[in-house]
Amino acid sequence: MKKSLSIILALVMIIGLMTPAAYAAEVNRQELFEALKARFSKVANIDDITDMLLILGTVEDNSEEIFNSLPHQDYLQAKGLDHTIIGKILNTLIDSSVLELMQNPDIEYEEAREVVEGLLLDLFALLPADVKESIERYAATREEKIDVMVNVLDTFLNDKIGGGVYNTVTNEWTSLHLFVRQAQINKLNKTITEAQDRPFKKLHLEIINKSLEEAANVLAKEGYINEAGDLLHKLALMDKLETDLIFADMQNHWSKKYVEFLSAKNIINGYEDGTFRPNNEITRAEFAKMIVMALELDLVKYNGEFSDIKATDWHADYVATIVDAGLAQGYGDTTFRPNNKISRAEMAVILGNVLDIEVEADEIDGLFNKFEDLSDLPDWAKLGVAKVIKDGIMIGSNNKFNPNGRTTRAEVATAVYRLINR
């Protein structure tokens, strides 16, 4: 019982401790205490506790592998973070007598207050030095530091960290998609006193999301994805995306989890024979539909603006919609060429038009220098390609972006997955 609550707290604290925290004095400590008790009650049975211990043990056993896969290793090492941070958090939680108090469903906050506040201060002490310095600009006193830790826990208890795909035919979780969104980071940044700086940086988000991704990969590899999916959903930390589809040709494909996620959200479809055909190339019309579905855009009625699209064509309204949204355009000869295979540069421009990021002119050369084949990129594609590279939506391979190459269904699914989960 004691360890089970530790795991709940560890799940949110591992996320919170990877980043600087924002000060929000209005967070109610008693409300957080009651929320933790309510979450604990959903998993306070022997089967769930056993699964929790297996999951936590698996992640901790693979913590070095997970840590070594993270980006920004120089930053992590400079701040004194290594794979042992998970164990340190867990041991701090287990050693605290607050966990024993929480096993009593009738315990009141005032009875546990001193112990709870002591635990929060112990967790604060585990923060890297630069993170503590950031916090102390806004939270210099003991009470303010406690409120900061309450805010971290409260935020990650109430904002879900992704979703999992659950197949209703096999009654199993097939993939976990754990991530913190940029909007959640922005939300925390706004709580900082007077918003004088932004302690949550892009590198923090990248570290968090890679650690969550690798933890999910480890659980899948070790065969605990079903147990992890059940627990995260019961704890309301993850959405449940149901599907009844099983693509016969995707079981061992590298893009499986991206395709499953988008399929469960009805963004992409397979074929009538039960296949997805991940290596098939995709047309401009097919990509237009996928973008409309991914962004949940309201369909705009086609009014005949392109000479090669009839109002009765299946793709007419999808093309009209992305053009109306300013995401794509046709050619100078009044055609859209909906049946042309879309190139990676064309896809990058449309995705780039969706992204709400800025790319300075002097940044572009630095971004393009990572690839061997972008020196002759046409002007119309430069900003879009720069945006998707900067935001990690498209990454290329073997030092090549392949701007003129055709795009496969698997590659499109991966890029759109990254776009909507950023």
Dist. CA 152–CA 313, nearest whole Å = 51
Tell me the mean pLDDT in the region 1-17: 46
- CA distance readout (Å), 42 to 29, 99, 150, 158, 160: 21, 16, 21, 16, 17
pLDDT of residue 164: 94
pLDDT of residue 155: 67
pLDDT of residue 132: 77
Dist. CA 175–CA 194, nearest whole Å = 40
| Nearest residue to 70 (alpha-carbon basis) of 287, 178, 215 | 215
Q: How confident is the model at residue 166 (pLDDT cuts 50, 70, 90)?
A: very high
| Nearest residue to 250 (alpha-carbon basis) of 175, 327, 354 | 175
Dist. CA 20–CA 205, nearest whole Å = 11
Tokens of 154: 């409260």
pLDDT of residue 146: 84
pLDDT of residue 39: 77
Mean pLDDT of the chain: 85
Tell me the mean pLDDT in the region 237-246: 90
Place of tokens 């949204």: 325
User: Is the model's pLDDT at 61 over the cut of 70?
Assistant: yes
Of 149-158, 288-297, 368-377, minimum mean pLDDT range: 149-158
Q: How confident is the model at residue 40 (pLDDT cuts 50, 70, 90)?
A: confident
- Reduced to 3 states, what is the DSSP secondary structure of residue 375? coil
Q: How confident is the model at residue 245 (pLDDT cuts 50, 70, 90)?
A: confident
Tokens of 397: 């391979």
The predicted-structure confidence for 272-290, as pLDDT tens digits, reads as follows: 999 999 999 999 999 999 9
Would you say 149 and 30 are in contact if contact means Cβ atoms under 8 Å apart?
no
Tokens of 60: 């901790």
User: Is the model's pLDDT at 90 over the cut of 90?
Assistant: no
The predicted-structure confidence for 170-180, as pLDDT tens digits, reads as follows: 999 999 999 88
Instruction: Identify which of 5-19, 31-45, 48-62, 340-354 has the greatest average pLDDT.
Output: 340-354
pLDDT of residue 198: 64
Dist. CA 121–CA 150, nearest whole Å = 10
Say how many CA atoms lie within 13 Å of 189 toward its Cβ. Answer: 15
pLDDT of residue 113: 85
Q: Order across the sheet with 163-167: list the strands.
A: 172-177, 163-167, 239-243
Is residue 167 within a helix (H) or strand (E), and if so which, with residue range? strand 163-167
Q: How confident is the model at residue 42 (pLDDT cuts 50, 70, 90)?
A: confident
Q: Residue 164: what residue type? A: G
User: Is the model's pLDDT at 19 over the cut of 80?
Assistant: no
pLDDT of residue 15: 45
Q: Residue 396: what residue type? A: G
Would you say 280 and 308 are in contact if contact means Cβ atoms under 8 Å apart?
no
Which pTM does this prediction carry?
Answer: 0.79
Percent of the chain having pLDDT more than 70? 86
Which of residues 173 and 63 earns the better pLDDT score?
173
Dist. CA 419–CA 422, nearest whole Å = 6
Burial of 385 per CB tally in 10 Å (0-12, 13-18, 19+): buried
The predicted-structure confidence for 379-404, as pLDDT tens digits, reads as follows: 999 999 999 999 999 998 899 999 99
| Nearest residue to 313 (alpha-carbon basis) of 286, 295, 342 | 286
pLDDT of residue 100: 64
User: Is the model's pLDDT at 22 over the cut of 50?
Assistant: no
The predicted-structure confidence for 330-352, as pLDDT tens digits, reads as follows: 999 999 999 999 999 999 999 99
Q: How confident is the model at residue 25 (pLDDT cuts 50, 70, 90)?
A: very low
Which of residues 354 and 126 earns the better pLDDT score?
354
Dist. CA 14–CA 92, nearest whole Å = 12
Would you say 369 and 333 are in contact if contact means Cβ atoms under 8 Å apart?
no
Residues 6+ apart with CB under 8 A from 128: 79, 80, 81
User: Is the model's pLDDT at 376 over the cut of 70?
Assistant: yes
Is residue 163 within a helix (H) or strand (E), and if so which, with residue range? strand 163-167
The overall longest dimension of the chain from CA atoms, in Å, is 76
Which of residues 239 and 134 earns the better pLDDT score?
239
User: Is the model's pLDDT at 60 over the cut of 60?
Assistant: yes
The domain spans of the chain are: 2-242, 245-420
| Nearest residue to 30 (alpha-carbon basis) of 160, 156, 152, 150 | 150
